[in-house]
Amino acid sequence: MADNERDYSWPAPEKRSLIGKRLNRVDGPLKAAGKAKYTYDVHPPGMLFGKGVRSPYAHAKVASIDTSAAEKMPGVKAIHIIQGPGSEIQWAGDYVVEVAAVDEPTARDAVRAIKVEYQPLPHFLDDFTEPKNLPEDNGPLSPRDIFNMLDDDDPESTKRAVSAIQQRGIKFQVTPQLVERMKSNEVPEEVIKALQSAPMKEEQKTDSPYQKEAETVKGDPDAAFKQAEVISEGVYGCPVITHCCMESHGSIAEWTDDNHLMVHISTQNISASAPQYFQALSIPAGNVHIHQDHIGGGFGSKFGVDRWDIAAANASKKAGGKPVRHMLERDAELEMAGSRPSFYGRVKVGAKKDGTLVAWESHTWGTGGPGSAGAPQVPYVVNVPAIRRQYVNVRTHTGPARAWRAPSHPQACLITMGALEDLAAKLQMDPVDFLLKNIELTGTRANVYSEELKIASELMGWKQKWRPRGQNGSGPVKRGLGVSIHTWGGRGHSSDCALTLHPDSSVDIKMGTQDLGTGTRTAILMVAADSLGIPMEQIQLNIGDNQYPPSGPSGGSTTIGGVSASTRRASVDALHALFEKIAPALGAQPGDLEAANGKIQVKGNPAKSMSWKNACARLGAQPIQVVGKNPGPGNLIDSGVGGAMMADVSVDTETGIVKMNKMVCVQDCGLVISMKTAESQCYGAMIMGIASTLYEEKIMDPQTGRMVNPTMDFYRLAGIGDVGDLVVHMMTGKGYDERGPIGLGEPPTVSPMASISNAVANAIGVRVPFMPITPDRVLAALNQGANHAAV
């Protein structure tokens, strides 16, 4: 049978022995015993401690560096200049010089003994104020500008885009690959032609921190607003927050000889880290060995090999190859090792009296540090028929943005669902009814959302508990409910699974993937064991090393799709090879056999069977070795999920303190492989979301340009007593299972801010526009509301 005819599809519900079950995570005992080894715990003999001199300025030129005193200190083994004189520092805390010493106290002293002089330059940090005095938008266009201009439903948009391309020119190369990509994204032929003959132009250098993106217009928003019977206007937004992984970023680098580098690194990207060393150190990627057993959190911030990792490798070289550990201290972690872009917006949204949405207009802005924040697309999920939107990217001298679970979605969701709930309040409609009224605007997943909103309402007791704004009791403590819906893509990344069936009946799997605590190990083993019909304990799983066949980075909820599909294919192929070996002995054709309960048996005739052990013994000396791949034959995975979330809060209108009573998460992720760890993703997402709604903010000091709160007592996370009751319901069964597994790391993180902030608005009758919803902001909003009422 040719590969492409083989049946790889997921087992039918009655055939699943493990898939979908609620099992303990396989590395749980190791972690609970404190024996799981993280990068931070790796301590090879002779290891040196790396530390860095960090810039106190947000924007400066390095003028001079004097390392002479540090060089003389006993115990200092290497000093490496990371950014020499003339370098321009773009954010406070950036590394300038690396030292490696025999112990940590000595490294610390050496850092203090190094003198760096800076020439401070003016810095800009204000991402909160609405951008004014924008530069004229007549400069050359970026690909995103063009994307923004195009609207499938509006043929005029093609003409507008073509004339803009001809007049303004473009600032990027139109490569054949880009043309291919545009074609597959259905960019109109006229636009591609215009691009191919468009003049390339340099972007004018400007002092403005603002980059205006081309306006998006869909339908006729002006006419639509005229038809609207109720219009709501408001401002909404959330500040930059950090990833705050419990295990900070960092690595241990060791030159095992002149040409080979051994790296233990805290990473979400085992298989693609080595090439990043090649770029920095010109060492062939094949000579870089990357290893990681466990990672203490990543959340999107650990895809790259960072400046400090390269510095550790350089310091190791200078120290004769000795291993150098550089793990970031907490302040460096919070200042530089990842932040989520801010997003603020002024929104106008209109509907008919019956709640039918007709028009949306938004002016939004945000910062991702010195680069781009990546404009969150609003309105989110609910595709209002007529839209005008504008986004301004604000460049600031702060640590650069990194992907943060579901990049751009929580921000877009907050602004959209906030504006919609304000409009629903004005319409005097229950926001759940309002969403359901407009559910067709969500497109292909309308049914999923409807079903989820129904289940969430029941789990929350929405109908019994919900009251219109301003009717939440007469005492000082007001109770309120909020709702939000969200989506995410999450198709599986590419993944190779090397699976070996040994004659001694053991099985091993090797994959260059990583388990972020999402349960990747558990899911791989469940798929393999279910497919092979043997217990999970019989399979030895090896991940976390770039000597194993590659898997993609764990980001964008693409891991489960990638690794489950490659593991399923490997298992089916290996079984098939085994069937071919033993079919004659069972007097059957290979195609008539199946594996179940530790046996190979003839389908429909379990009496004709052979134990797994005996079957493997027939392999002789030769194990069966296969590599299953994703993408590959058979339709095993899909993309695109829907989820609904509801929050129940109490707000003390005298102190401004918000208390979480309860949250409900109803989530679809296609076929659930590992139920317990899937639910944990949802619990965790709600808890993380509570923190970003109520506590988290990277506060920058406009005077010094530094982060004010780079410690965990001032950068506050949610504690065990802060989160209220949490309820999770996973969508399963028909309509979900047959889609195959779809990633879950991102989707449930999207709606918490929106649902909680809506619950607060419902409780106190006014919108607290900006996150985090701290007591002072609640009191200010109440005051302002009272003033409004008085006017």
Residues interacting with other proteins, by CB under 8 A?
Answer: 24-25, 27-29, 31-38, 40-41, 43, 103-105, 244-248, 294-297, 299, 329-330, 516-519, 655-657, 676-677, 679-681, 683-688, 694-697, 709, 711-714, 716-721, 723, 726, 772, 774-775
Q: What is the dihedral of CA 265, 271, 272, 277, to 10 degrees?
A: 50
Total residues contacting ligand FES by CB under 6 A comes to 3
Choose from ligand FES, other proteins, none: what does 105 bind? Cβ within 5-8 Å by kind: other proteins
Choose from other proteins, ligand FES, none: what does 210 bind? Cβ within 5-8 Å by kind: none
Q: How far is the CB of 406 from ligand FES (least distance, A)?
A: 18
Choose from ligand FES, other proteins, none: what does 648 bind? Cβ within 5-8 Å by kind: none
Q: How far is the CB of 685 from ligand FES (least distance, A)?
A: 13
Using the rule CB under 6 A, is 200 a contact of ligand FES? no
8 Å CB contact between 723 and 687: yes
237 vs 250 by CB, closer to ligand FES: 250
3-state secondary structure at position 223: helix
Q: How far is the CB of 306 from other proteins (least distance, A)?
A: 19
Q: How far is the CB of 32 from other proteins (least distance, A)?
A: 4
- Name residue 718's beta-bridge partners: none
**DSSP alpha helices (H): ranges in 237-341?**
274-281, 307-318, 330-336
16 vs 330 by CB, closer to ligand FES: 330
Q: How far is the CB of 24 from other proteins (least distance, A)?
A: 5
Burial class (CB in 10 A: 0-12, 13-18, 19+), 752: buried
Using the rule CB under 6 A, is 50 a contact of ligand FES? no
Cα separations (Å) of 385 from 153, 154, 380, 609, 643? 10, 11, 13, 61, 22
Q: How far is the CB of 399 from other proteins (least distance, A)?
A: 18
Using the rule CB under 6 A, is 699 a contact of ligand FES? no
Choose from other proteins, ligand FES, none: what does 103 bind? Cβ within 5-8 Å by kind: other proteins
420 vs 754 by CB, closer to other proteins: 754
109 vs 151 by CB, closer to other proteins: 109
8 Å CB contact between 671 and 740: yes
323: Cβ contacts below 8 Å, ≥ 6 apart: 44, 46, 47, 48, 252, 253, 254, 262, 316
What are 216-219's contacts with CB under 8 Å, separation 24+? 216/148, 216/149, 216/151, 216/387, 216/388, 216/389, 216/390, 217/151, 217/154, 217/157, 217/387, 217/388, 218/151, 218/153, 218/154, 218/385, 218/386, 218/387, 218/388, 219/153, 219/154, 219/385, 219/386, 219/387
Q: How far is the CB of 722 from ligand FES (least distance, A)?
A: 15
Considering only 297, 503, 550, 598, the residue that binds ligand FES (CB under 6 A) is 297
Q: How far apart are CA 240 and CA 229, in angstroms?
A: 36
Binding mask 203-242 for ligand FES (x = CB under 6 A): ----------------------------------------
Q: How far is the CB of 492 from ligand FES (least distance, A)?
A: 24
Q: How far is the CB of 297 from ligand FES (least distance, A)?
A: 5
- Name residue 386's beta-bridge partners: 359
The tokens describing 315, both together, are: 């310091």
Residue type, 328: L
297 vs 503 by CB, closer to ligand FES: 297
Q: How far apart are CA 637 and CA 631, in angstroms?
A: 9
Residue sitting closest to ligand FES (CB): 246
| Footprint on residues 469-528 left by ligand FES (CB under 6 A) | 517
516 vs 666 by CB, closer to ligand FES: 516
The tokens describing 264, both together, are: 């233990």
8 Å CB contact between 452 and 666: yes
299 vs 579 by CB, closer to other proteins: 299
47 vs 170 by CB, closer to other proteins: 47
Q: How far is the CB of 517 from ligand FES (least distance, A)?
A: 5
195 vs 563 by CB, closer to other proteins: 563
250 vs 480 by CB, closer to other proteins: 250
> Strands 48-54 and 324-327, how do they pair?
parallel
Q: How far is the CB of 779 from other proteins (least distance, A)?
A: 10
The tokens describing 407, both together, are: 């990049």
Q: How far is the CB of 506 from ligand FES (least distance, A)?
A: 31
Using the rule CB under 6 A, is 628 a contact of ligand FES? no
Using the rule CB under 6 A, is 772 a contact of ligand FES? no
Choose from other proteins, ligand FES, none: what does 28 bind? Cβ within 5-8 Å by kind: other proteins
Cα-Cα-Cα-Cα dihedral sign, residues 697, 514, 26, 645: positive
14: Cβ contacts below 8 Å, ≥ 6 apart: none
Strands (E), 551-636: 593-596, 599-602, 605-611, 624-630
Choose from ligand FES, other proteins, none: what does 639 bind? Cβ within 5-8 Å by kind: none
Choose from ligand FES, other proteins, none: what does 624 bind? Cβ within 5-8 Å by kind: none
Measured from the Cβ of residue 548, the count of other Cβ atoms closer than 10 Å reads 19
179 vs 536 by CB, closer to other proteins: 536
335 vs 361 by CB, closer to ligand FES: 335
Q: How far apart are CA 395 and CA 366, in angstroms?
A: 9
Q: How far is the CB of 247 from other proteins (least distance, A)?
A: 5
Using the rule CB under 6 A, is 410 a contact of ligand FES? no
| Omega cis (within 30) before 747 | no
80 vs 294 by CB, closer to other proteins: 294
Binding mask 251-290 for ligand FES (x = CB under 6 A): ----------------------------------------
Q: Return the biggest CA–CA distance within the chain.
A: 91
83 vs 242 by CB, closer to other proteins: 242
Cα-Cα-Cα-Cα dihedral sign, residues 147, 149, 154, 160: negative
Using the rule CB under 6 A, is 104 a contact of ligand FES? no
Considering only 246, 585, 699, 786, the residue that binds ligand FES (CB under 6 A) is 246
Cα separations (Å) of 106 from 103, 701, 723? 6, 31, 42
Q: How far apart are CA 215 and CA 213, in angstroms?
A: 6
248 vs 339 by CB, closer to ligand FES: 248
| Omega cis (within 30) before 631 | yes
Residue type, 74: P
User: What DSSP element (H or E) covers 497?
Assistant: strand 495-501
Q: Which residue has the tokens 């400090």?
A: 308
Residues that bind ligand FES (CB under 6 A): 246, 297, 517
